[in-house]
Structure 1
């Protein structure tokens, strides 16, 4: 079973990668963790209340959860799709987060939809590039081949061009 870490801004297009990843790992069960990273506050009172905070979940639109449920219904190999928030900025904290969530690989930053949600948002690519886990990419070879075949000239067009 693979657990794939996906840095996200929780936009609906950030879920587009799942179907391609399911095709790539068609014989494996998959867990997806969509994560947004925040710097840790310096305020002691905020740190004490951190476990009770839920205002970050306001950044996740209802449509995101609805689309997650649709994907789970369409793709039987998807075991779970979770949303998490990471608070911190050190590699040790980040590695502990990855280990606690049994993350086996990270989606390539080029394949992610990520923008800052607020001024405390952290660029996760700084952490993911140094954590030592394998980076996976969404392969779109099938799509490219299909598009090329569909756009290929017909025999009549090729003959007409030759004359």
Structure 2
């Protein structure tokens, strides 16, 4: 079993590295919350490949956000992934009452977490093999998820 580790970060590059490590560590479920996912590298080929590999193992991917606009405009690879794995990927948008939430995090299997303390800043921390560190983000994500509505659904055209 892996020893619990915690690392702080404060640059886009460090955040990307920690997010990549969290994604690589995921086995069954990946839950993400961010106001718009502009900082998350969801549109890169490396992230797409890692997400496809995760989803090919029947994992679940859930994203909660305030607005899907950035994803819709800048992440065509991710939208294709949502379409290809629509039975395993779900995206939800928060109601207006939750739009004041400004943190950002990624939780993998309730063991690993990468979180930024405020979505306007890159300062944050990553914890691996640490269920205790995922407890608060898990409760926050579950509460956000329950209040949110489905968005970015795959549609069938041409029928």
TM range (shorter): 0.3 to 0.5
TM-score relative to the length of structure 1: 0.34
In our comparison, the structure showing a higher alpha carbon Rg is 1
> Which structure dedicates a bigger proportion of its chain to helix?
1
* Higher normalized strand content (fraction of residues): 2
Give the TM-score, by structure 2 length.
0.35
